[in-house]
Every structure is written in C-alpha cells, then in structure tokens.
Structure 1
Amino acid sequence: MTSTEPAGTTALISDPAQTQRRILRVLVASQVLSGAGLAAGVTVGALLAQDMLGTTALAGLPSALFTAGYALTAVAVGRISHARGRRPGLAAGYLAGAIGSAGVITAAVLDNAVLLFVALFVYGAGTATNLQARYAGADLAAPGHRARAVSTVLVATTLGGVAGPNLAAPTDALAEHLGIPNLAGPFILSGAAYALAALVLAFWLRPDPLLTARALAEAEAQEADTATATATTNTVDGRGGVVLGALVMILSQLVMVAIMTPVHMHEHGHGTAASGLVIAIHIGVMYLPSPLTGWLVDRYGHLKIAAASGITLLASGILAALAPGDSIALLALALALLGLGWNFGLVAGTAITTDTVPLATRAKTQGTVDVCVAVATGGMASGLMVAATGYPALALTGGILSLALLPAVAAYRR
C-alpha cells in the first residue's frame, strides 16, 4: 500500500511528530470549511422537505436520506483510504457532498421532490467525510494522545458549524437575489464549503497519515521482529473493543438524531433565525468541548467518559421533554446537553475503536463502524413519531435509550 506515495512517506518516517503536527493543521483547515457545509444543510433540510411535501409526517425523511448517504460514503471512504490513503478518500467524500448541495438547489428551483431526495442522499457524503476525518488525526498520534488528536480535528468543526446556521438569513437573501427558494439558500454555502475542503485535502494532506503510519509500523516491526505477534494480539483484544466503541457511537448518534429536530421549533412559531441559533448552540457544544473530552479520555480512560455520555444524554432527553415549546432558552439548554453527551460518546467510542484495531485493517474497520452508526440512526422514524405522539415522547424515549450505555460499559469492564 505504501507504494502509492513512496517518496513523501519514507522521507518523513524519521520525524513522525513533525508530520503529525502538519497533518493536524491541514485537517483543522478542512474541518472548519466542512463544518460550515454540514451545519448549513442540517438547519434547513427538514424544513425544505416539509415545505415541498406539505406535511410533517415525513419531516424525518431528510435525516434518513442523510443517513443513507452517510452509510454509503463511510464504506467508500473507508475502502478508498484502506487502498490508497486518507487523502484521496476524504477529498472524494467532500466532493460528493458539494455535488449533493448543487442537486438540492436544483431540486428546489424545479420544485422536484424526487430530485431533492436523491440530492439529499448524495449530500450525506459530506457528513460522513466530516466524521471520518477524525480518524486521520489519530493515525500518527502516540497511543496515550489519540483521544486528544481526535478531539483537535473535531473541535475545528466548531467555527464552521456555529457560523453555518447563523448564515441562514444572509443566504436566504442571496438565494432570493438569484431566484432560488429561500430555504435552499444555505446549500449554496454548503456546496462551496465542501468543494473548498476537498481542494485543501487534495493539495496539502501530504504525506498521507495512514500510509505514513503503516510505513512506521512496518519499520518498527522489522527491527523488533515481532510483527506477527503484535498483529495477533491486537486482533484478539480488538473484537470486544470494536463492538463497544461502535455501540457507544451508535447510541450517542441515535439519541442525537432523535432529539435534534428544527421542525419542533418551527411548529411553535419560531423562525429560521431562532432555529438557526439553537442549532448553532447545539453544534457548537457538539465540538467545542472536544479538547477537554480528549484530555479526559486519555487521563481517566475510555469507559468512564462513555458512561458519562449516557448520563448526559439522559438529562438532555428529560429536559427536552419537559421544556415548553415556546421556551427557546430551555430548548437551547436541552440541545446543548445533547451535543455534550454526543461529544463524550463520539470521542470515547472513536478512541476505543482506534486503540483496539490493527493498523493493517484500521481504515476498513473504521468505515464499517461508521456505517453501523449511520444505519442505526432513526431520522425517518423520528419524524413519524413526532407526528404520532409528539416531540416530548420522542425526547424522553431517546434519553431513556441512552441508559443502555451503562450496562454495556460495565459488561466490557468485567
């Protein structure tokens, strides 16, 4: 595999720390851009579908389509990264997200719901790639610093993630000037941001972190003559860790998708600006605490932070269920707790998975884990449940579901 980038990889094997710092800088730049693209679409995707369909029963359909596109891209990015490295895999994923954004705009102009759904499916590629990039940050990190490396990549999404929803109003004006429906305006920003993120990675993510990590591992194994024993040990120890890491991320993502819906605020008379503010707070708390979370995971261990994720998500679900629909402050607090619980789960689950998977199969396994996370998220079901029982029941159900993390962590510890 290292033959795809022989010069850049071997030249920097002697100084992996310097290479890691450069890689993190490039990843941070791309994550700032992709964060804006991700947040812009999430804010208005459900509202655009609701406006086209004229019903809230299928309000969760955009999330379901994001999920499907996320799943397919996670597989593709994982396999491309396994075969050719992180750089081509991540760049291709962001490019697909940009194409999906253009498709959403076209569908809105033509008022074509079928094209909208296809475009939202492709748009989901950007979300998957944004999360897959966190693995690239850990490829060359020292074992005791992997969670902090992951958190550095995640927190970079905050700037774009907070700015994206709050640019909804300006992009509405731009869309109106261009003759595009207002709700499709944020996808202009989304498409441009994803395209720029793809270019940043394609030109500057050199040397490739995964290929460099493999070259380092091969050199160390040859010197110590323990390659076979190391691979065997990691594979045996990794099975339970992969299952637990996937479960932590699955439950965190499932609860987050279930509770976070702008349609609930829209139904209570809150406009796009108010919805954008609450979602911006939520996305900010999803990523902003990442450096602290990474330090906590490295300092106190994966399992304690995974358990903290379940407790925080439960508090979020209870507060969201009890908060009056007209209270922006309480809804913002509930979604802030939701973002924090998700952050705990994602960083802890990612660190568990990365620490327990052999380097030779790391990229493919990480892609498979992210597929499981995507498939388990119930965007479609959440819209149907809101229509049938109301948002409070959905929020409370999501909070209770998060408690499953506690027995899972306890079982793994035993």
Structure 2
Amino acid sequence: MTATDSAASAGISRRPEDQRRVLTVLVVSQVLSGAGLAAGITVGALLAQDMLGSTDLAGLPSALFTAGSALAAVGVGRISQARGRRPGLAAGYLTGAVGSAGVIAAAVADSPVLLFTALFVYGAGTATNLQARYAGGDLAAPAHRARAVSTVLVATTLGGVAGPNLAAPTGAFAERLGLPGLAGPFLLAGAAYGLAALVLAVWLHPDPLLLARELADGQQTGTAQESAAPVHRPELMLGAVTMVLTQLVMAAIMTMTPVHMHDHGHGTAASGLVIAIHVGAMYLPSPLTGWLVDRYGRRMIAAASGVTLLASGVLAAFAPEDSVALLALALALLGLGWNFGLVSGTAMITDAVPLATRARTQGVVDVAIACAGATGGLASGLVVSAAGYPVLGVAGGVLALAVIPAAVLTANRRPDPA
C-alpha cells in the first residue's frame, strides 16, 4: 500500500495540499456568489408584486429563477463532466451576472415579460452556487467528504447574510442612479457573480474533478476502485429525495415570507433582516452539519431535516403577524432544516456515484432540486392567495416529514460510510 493509499484509508485527502488550495478558491468564490443569490430571494417577489399589482403570482419570480437554475444545472454539470469544474462553474456565474443585468433593465422598463425572462437567466447563479459544493468533495476522502462539502457551503454565509441587509442601501444607491429602488440588490448580484466567475477562472488550479480522475487513472486501488464502482441506487435515490423535499418546502415558505411581512406593514429592512437570518441558517451551520453527517451517518441527519422543517413551518404558521423575532426564528429553522438535508443528501449522492459519471449525475440531481424549488415557489403564492400563509407553513412542514420513511426504507440497503 502506498502512502497516498494509506492516507485515503485513514480519511485524509490523497492530495491534501491541492485540496486545501481548491477549498480556499471555492470559499472566496462562494463568499461573493452568496451576495448574488440573496438578491432574488429578498426583492424578487416584491418586484413582481409591484409590476402586477397582485400577490397571486408573487411566487413566480422564485419559480422562474429556480427553473432557470434547473437548466443551468444541466449545463454546468455537462461542462464540468467534459472539461472540469473550473469552466463549468465560471460559465454558470457569468450567466447569472447577465440575468442580473436583465432584471435591472426590466425594472427600468417596468416590463413583467422582461423581468420573468431575466429572472430565468439569473437562476444560473443559484445553480452554480449549489454545484460548487460538489467540487469541494471531489478530492476529499469519503470519511471527510461531508465536512469538505460543508466548508464550501459555509462560505456562502458571509455574502448571503450581507446581501439581504444591503437591500435598503443598494436600493437607495439605485435611486441615486435614477433606477427603481428594488433594482438595487441586482446591481450587487451582477457584480458579485461576475467577480465569482473571475476568481474561479483565474485561480481554480488544479481542477479538482480532473485531478481526481487523474489520480483514479494512475492508481490501481483506492480512488480507482471508487471510479469503477457501480451506482448504489438506493443511496442515490434517498439523497435525491432528501434534497428535493427540503428544497421544495424551503422555497415555498421562504418565498412568501417577505410578501407576508409586507402585507402586514413590515418594511424592506425588516424582511431583509429575516431573510438574512434565514440565509445565515442555511449555510452557517454547515461545518457542524458536516461533522454530524460524517459522525452519525447520512440517514440520521436526513431524518433530522424533516423534523426541523416541521418545527419551522408550524412556528411560521402561528407566529403573531407583528412579531419579526418569531418569524426570524421560524426562517432560521427553515434554513437549518434545509442545511441538514443538503449536506446529508450531497454526501449520499457523492458516495453513491463513481467518478466516471459523477458530475453529470450531480447535475441531473440538481435539476430535480431546482424543479422542486420552482414548484414550491410557484405554488406558494397560490396557496397563500387561496388559504393563507399559516396553511402554507403547516402543509410544508408536514410534507417534509416524508424524508423519515424514505430514510427508514433504505436503511438496510447499504451502510452509511460514517
């Protein structure tokens, strides 16, 4: 057994110095892109509500940029499969920057059609931000894979928390430029996505996926065995189901919370604070979540995501309409439940799929996740319009519990690599 094989079996990356460099570059790009993805969450629904004069389709922006992220996930996955993570991720962020510019143009022209088209394109940034987590796990040993993924995710926290809190200042800046105030966060998004693309294009060397394949081709054990291994379908399906359900529930409740707050007299600053807390809870717990997933198993934390999302939905449903604090707590639990589902699901997908088809499969799974988010975002407006925000919260929380029987049904198919 070689030294690199011994390291891999001990749970250490076969190329630790390269893994450290890859994670550093990914962290920088995620800090930037986090600010970009938060713009659409914070004011996308408000832009649509202003243009259309109704809450019926206020969930459409979230649905559109999430649907756009589905298409982008396919593109980023295929480019990454063929040419590596660097060109795939850089192209995705550049597309998100173009979409941000389109949203600004739509706000100036007061054009709902242009707004919805631009939000679809803007969704590429969201897809790329999520796809980057897979790059963190390419060179990681299985025993530390969830922690590597979580390192990339937690980096999104800084930009993701700062972005919503900059909604009011960037709005004021936009107005000084003669632009509509709600276009302000998309000025930030365009710059953030463009810089993230630049960082990856210039500094993501070596390419983690290409290096992982090179190591697999050069070794007869360890990673090579992983590269040639069959797909473990029960684990693949559980990982996908976990992330799809948590994304659907999270997107539905998150999308309508700013609208719910706006309808009850809260300003942009208050809704921006609540969304900032939510986004922080989506990413900040990632190191702890990664440790829990590696220590206690993928299925255990996947089941915990369902329970946490139920608590979030119930609290959001019954929180007093004038209580920003309780809504913030509900959205924090929403983010935490999503984080549990994403980290555990990502680890399951990466464990289940060999290197030879990994990037393409990850892209396909992220399409399903994006479609779930689009469905949740679109349906949320209709549910709130027909039955009210409390019904949305309770229904979403109950739906999330479906993760638990899915985890139980696959528990004996393959042991967790914890």
Q: Same fold (TM over 0.5)?
A: yes
Hey, what's the Cα distance between the residues in 2 that align with 1:110 and 1:308?
46
Hey, what's the Cα distance between the residues in 1 that align with 2:67 and 2:314?
29
CA separation of 1:56 and 1:69: change in aligned 2, threshold 3 A: same
The answer to whether the 8 Å contact 2:25/2:200 transfers is yes
Deviation at 1:42, TM superposition (A): 1.3
Tell me which amino acid in the other structure corresponds to 1:353. Answer: I
Deviation at 1:15, TM superposition (A): 6.6
Deviation at 1:231, TM superposition (A): 5.3
Hey, what's the Cα distance between the residues in 1 that align with 2:314 and 2:273?
21
Q: Give structure 1 stretches of 5+ with no counterpart.
A: 1-13
Aligned to 1:242: 236
Hey, what's the Cα distance between the residues in 1 that align with 2:130 and 2:372?
16
The answer to whether the 8 Å contact 2:243/2:369 transfers is yes
Tell me which amino acid in the other structure corresponds to 1:412. Answer: T
Cα offsets for 1:275-295 (capped at 9, x unmatched): 000000000011000000000
Hey, what's the Cα distance between the residues in 2 that align with 1:306 and 1:36?
27
CA separation of 1:326 and 1:98: change in aligned 2, threshold 3 A: same
Aligned to 2:144: 145
Name the count of aligned residue pairs: 396
Cα offsets for 1:271-314 (capped at 9, x unmatched): 00000000000000110000000000111110110111111011
2:325 to 312, 326, 329: 329
Tell me which amino acid in the other structure corresponds to 1:106. Answer: A
Hey, what's the Cα distance between the residues in 1 that align with 2:33 and 2:395?
31
CA separation of 1:231 and 1:140: change in aligned 2, threshold 3 A: closer
The answer to whether the 8 Å contact 2:216/2:223 transfers is no
Deviation at 1:41, TM superposition (A): 2.2
Deviation at 1:230, TM superposition (A): 5.3
The answer to whether the 8 Å contact 2:73/2:127 transfers is yes
Aligned to 1:4: none
Hey, what's the Cα distance between the residues in 2 that align with 1:107 and 1:303?
44
Q: How does 1:314-393 map to 2 (within 5 A)?
A: 314-377=310-373, 378-393=376-391
Tell me which amino acid in the other structure corresponds to 1:309. Answer: S
Aligned to 2:87: 88
Deviation at 1:327, TM superposition (A): 0.8
Aligned to 1:11: none
Q: Give structure 2 stretches of 5+ with no counterpart.
A: 1-12, 413-418
Tell me which amino acid in the other structure corresponds to 2:126. Answer: T
Residue 401 in 1 paired to residue 395 in 2? no
- How does the TM-score come out when normalised to structure 1? 0.94
Hey, what's the Cα distance between the residues in 2 that align with 1:81 and 1:247?
23
Hey, what's the Cα distance between the residues in 2 that align with 1:357 and 1:126?
25
Hey, what's the Cα distance between the residues in 2 that align with 1:226 and 1:353?
16
The answer to whether the 8 Å contact 2:226/2:355 transfers is no
The answer to whether the 8 Å contact 2:216/2:227 transfers is no
Q: How does 1:271-282 map to 2 (within 5 A)?
A: 271-282=267-278
Hey, what's the Cα distance between the residues in 1 that align with 2:243 and 2:166?
29
Q: How does 1:163-174 map to 2 (within 5 A)?
A: 163-174=162-173
Cα offsets for 1:250-277 (capped at 9, x unmatched): 0110110111121111111100000000
Deviation at 1:374, TM superposition (A): 1.0
The answer to whether the 8 Å contact 2:34/2:158 transfers is yes
Hey, what's the Cα distance between the residues in 2 that align with 1:312 and 1:196?
35
Percent identity over paired residues: 75
Hey, what's the Cα distance between the residues in 1 that align with 2:350 and 2:223?
20
Aligned to 1:5: none
Aligned to 1:263: 259
1:410 to 386, 408, 411: 408
Hey, what's the Cα distance between the residues in 2 that align with 1:212 and 1:305?
30
Hey, what's the Cα distance between the residues in 2 that align with 1:382 and 1:192?
30
Deviation at 1:376, TM superposition (A): 1.8
Aligned to 1:45: 44
Hey, what's the Cα distance between the residues in 2 that align with 1:110 and 1:320?
35
Aligned to 2:217: 218
Hey, what's the Cα distance between the residues in 1 that align with 2:210 and 2:354?
14
CA separation of 1:281 and 1:226: change in aligned 2, threshold 3 A: closer
Aligned to 1:106: 105
2:287 to 268, 288, 291: 291
Tell me which amino acid in the other structure corresponds to 1:302. Answer: R
Tell me which amino acid in the other structure corresponds to 2:275. Answer: I
Hey, what's the Cα distance between the residues in 2 that align with 1:217 and 1:15?
11
Q: How does 1:115-264 map to 2 (within 5 A)?
A: 115-221=114-220, 224=221, 234-236=229-231, 238-260=232-254, 261=256, 262-264=258-260
1:306 aligns to what SS in structure 2?
Answer: helix
Cα offsets for 1:337-361 (capped at 9, x unmatched): 1100000000000000001101000
Hey, what's the Cα distance between the residues in 1 that align with 2:215 and 2:169?
48
Tell me which amino acid in the other structure corresponds to 2:237. Answer: V
Tell me which amino acid in the other structure corresponds to 1:388. Answer: A
Deviation at 1:226, TM superposition (A): 10
Hey, what's the Cα distance between the residues in 1 that align with 2:22 and 2:186?
28
Aligned to 1:28: 27
1:116 aligns to what SS in structure 2?
Answer: helix
Hey, what's the Cα distance between the residues in 2 that align with 1:226 and 1:150?
18
Hey, what's the Cα distance between the residues in 1 that align with 2:305 and 2:140?
24
CA separation of 1:225 and 1:391: change in aligned 2, threshold 3 A: closer
CA separation of 1:159 and 1:230: change in aligned 2, threshold 3 A: closer
Hey, what's the Cα distance between the residues in 2 that align with 1:317 and 1:381?
15
Tell me which amino acid in the other structure corresponds to 1:189. Answer: L
